[in-house]
């Protein structure tokens, strides 16, 4: 069982975020780049190693891989779908957080956008898998990067056989409830303000 996610001090900066269309099938190196991670993986046994100790393209230190010439390669962290998920006021360490995403169960990667006018849009999340509703994965990734999940993705799917009392699902649902409650409170404040304005006569 995985440990609960840290959801006590999440930023609500991304609460109103919506997905944006971005063509990740073209423009690599010109309009976007993959954020690399400080990790190497054997192409045979799939064991992982820190690249500060071992060399990319070198032999796997696992004895079982010597005879099959297993080599260490940097895992791909490339998007598979042409949508990005913005990270407002992002100030994290891209390589460290790419590693965090890679080691989690979320099918999400961090991508750098090149030449954007708004510094807040320099990095976005993107899906590295597809084929079903990945709202849990998107919310999971936002939480790992310190954000409360955007409201758009809090409509979580009800997967048959999934035990939502287990992690990370339990923490993701709790974080989504925080997001929903934040929006409800904001809506109530606006309602009160409008009702007050409506009752104002100008006399």
Task: Examine the domain organization and report whether 69 and 164 are in the same domain.
Answer: no
**Which residues, including other chains, have CB under 8 Å from residue 3's CB and lie 6 or more apart?**
167
**Strand 108-113 relative to strand 20-21, pairing:** unpaired
Task: Examine the domain organization and report whether 165 and 126 are in the same domain.
Answer: yes
DSSP single-letter state for residue 83: E
Task: Examine the domain organization and report whether 82 and 102 are in the same domain.
Answer: yes
Task: Examine the domain organization and report whether 59 and 124 are in the same domain.
Answer: no
Task: Examine the domain organization and report whether 32 and 42 are in the same domain.
Answer: no
- Choose one of 56, 74, 92: the last residue of a domain: 74
pLDDT of residue 120: 54
Task: Examine the domain organization and report whether 45 and 127 are in the same domain.
Answer: no
Whether 93 shows a pLDDT value over 90: the answer reads: yes
DSSP single-letter state for residue 166: S
Tens-place pLDDT, residues 130-175? 778 999 999 999 999 999 999 999 999 999 899 999 999 999 999 9
Does residue 40 or residue 116 have the better pLDDT?
40
Q: How far is CA 160 from the centre of its chain?
A: 24
Q: How far is CA 99 from the centre of its chain?
A: 11
Whether 203 shows a pLDDT value over 60: the answer reads: no
159 near 138, Cβ under 8 Å? no
pLDDT of residue 118: 62
- Choose one of 52, 74, 96: the last residue of a domain: 74
pLDDT of residue 155: 96
Residue 151 corresponds to which tokens in the numbers above? 């409201």
Which candidate, 20, 18, 19, 15, places its Cα nearest to that of 150? 15
Report the distance separating Cα 107 and Cα 136, nearest Å.
10
Task: Examine the domain organization and report whether 90 and 168 are in the same domain.
Answer: yes
Task: Examine the domain organization and report whether 103 and 44 are in the same domain.
Answer: no
Residues of the domain holding 59? 38-74
Structural domains counted in the chain: 2
Whether 186 shows a pLDDT value over 70: the answer reads: yes
Beta-bridge partner residues of 49? 40
pLDDT of residue 121: 61
């Amino acid at each position: 069982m995985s440990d609960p996610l840290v959801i006590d001090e999440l930023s609500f900066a991304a609460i109103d975020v919506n997905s944006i269309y971005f063509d990740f099938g073209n423009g690599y190196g010109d309009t976007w780049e993959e954020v690399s991670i400080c990790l190497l993986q054997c192409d045979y046994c799939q064991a992982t190693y820190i690249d500060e100790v071992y060399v990319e393209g070198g032999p796997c230190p696992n004895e079982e891989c010597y005879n099959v010439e297993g080599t260490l390669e940097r895992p791909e962290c490339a998007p598979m779908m042409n949508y990005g998920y913005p990270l407002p006021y992002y100030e994290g360490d891209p390589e460290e957080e790419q590693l965090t995403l890679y080691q989690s169960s979320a099918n999400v990667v961090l991508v750098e956008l090149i030449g954007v006018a708004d510094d807040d849009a320099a990095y976005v999340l993107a899906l590295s898998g597809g084929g079903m509703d990945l709202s849990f994965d998107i919310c999971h990734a936002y939480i790992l990067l310190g954000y409360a999940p955007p409201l758009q993705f809090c409509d979580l799917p009800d997967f048959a056989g999934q035990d939502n009392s287990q992690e990370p699902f339990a923490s993701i649902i709790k974080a989504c409830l925080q997001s929903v409650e934040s929006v409800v409170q904001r809506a109530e404040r606006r309602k009160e303000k409008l009702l007050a304005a409506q009752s104002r006569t100008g006399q």
